[in-house]
Amino acid sequence: MIPVLALIPLPPETGDALRGRARILRPDEPEAGSAEAVITDGARGLSAAEIADLPRLSHVASASAGMEGIDREALARRSIVLSNVGPALAEEVADHAMMLLLAAWKGLLAGHEHVRSGAWSREGPAPLGRALAGRTLGILGLGGIGTAIARRAEPFGLRVLYHSRVPRPVRWGHVADPVQLARASDILAVAVPGGEATRGLVSDAVIDALGPGGVLVNVARGSVVDEPALIEALAAGRLGAAGLDVFASEPDPDPRLVGLPNVVLSPHAGSATQETRVAMARMVAENILAHAEGRPLPGAI
Domains and CATH numbers, the chain: 2-84+274-292 (3.40.50.720), 89-265 (3.40.50.720)
Is 250 catalytic? The answer is yes
- How much is the pLDDT for 39? 98
Beta bridge partners of 225: 202
Is 123 catalytic? The answer is no
Is 114 catalytic? The answer is no
Q: What does the alpha-carbon distance between residue 227 and residue 65 come to, in Å, rounded to a whole number?
A: 22
Is the peptide bond preceding residue 251 cis, with omega within 30 degrees of 0?
yes
pLDDT, one tens digit per residue, over 177-224 is 999 999 999 999 999 999 999 999 999 999 999 999 999 999 999 999
pLDDT interval class at 246 (50, 70, 90): very high
Burial of residue 238 (CB within 10 Å: 0-12, 13-18, 19+) is middle
Cα–Cα nearest to 226, from 246, 241, 207, 239: 207
Q: What does the alpha-carbon distance between residue 94 and residue 92 come to, in Å, rounded to a whole number?
A: 5
Catalytic residue among 56, 78, 250, 295: 250
Catalytic residue among 96, 114, 163, 221: 221
Catalytic residue among 152, 174, 268, 277: 268
Q: 144-153 vs 86-106: helix axis angle to the nearest 10?
A: 40
pTM of the model: 0.94
